[in-house]
Amino acid sequence: MNRERFEYIRDGIEGMELDALWDYALEASDFFDEQRQFFFMILEKLIREGNIRLIHMHTKVPMSGTAEQQIDAFMKVFPRGAEEMNGGLWFFSEECPGGSLWQAR
């Protein structure tokens, strides 16, 4: 993905929760595995570039660990199919380990 496309997505979801990123993943492919891969590629880039920090969904405390460790925590519990994703509602469920805290640019 080129820089321009990444910035377009970043600007489109800035200040929003992770389900907004999932909407872009849905546009990227018709296949769940490819959507999942796209989601994590952008999420990792957002974390590494300091655009967001992942926070625990209910306590709002920043998640510990490196960007890779935080992504791994999400990947372990991430839905394996569209049915489990439930139209993006998974991001607001007890199973979701966290949400996004946007950092000022």
Average pLDDT rounded to a whole number, residues 36-48: 96
pTM: 0.93
Mean pLDDT of the chain: 94
At 44-67, the pLDDT tens digits run: 999 999 999 999 888 889 999 988
Q: Going from the N-terminus, what domains does the chain have, and what CATH number goes with each?
A: 3-102 (1.10.3510.10)
- Which long-range contacts link 15-18 to residues 24+ away (Cβ below 8 Å)? 15/102, 16/100, 17/91, 17/92, 17/99, 17/100, 18/43, 18/91, 18/96, 18/99, 18/100
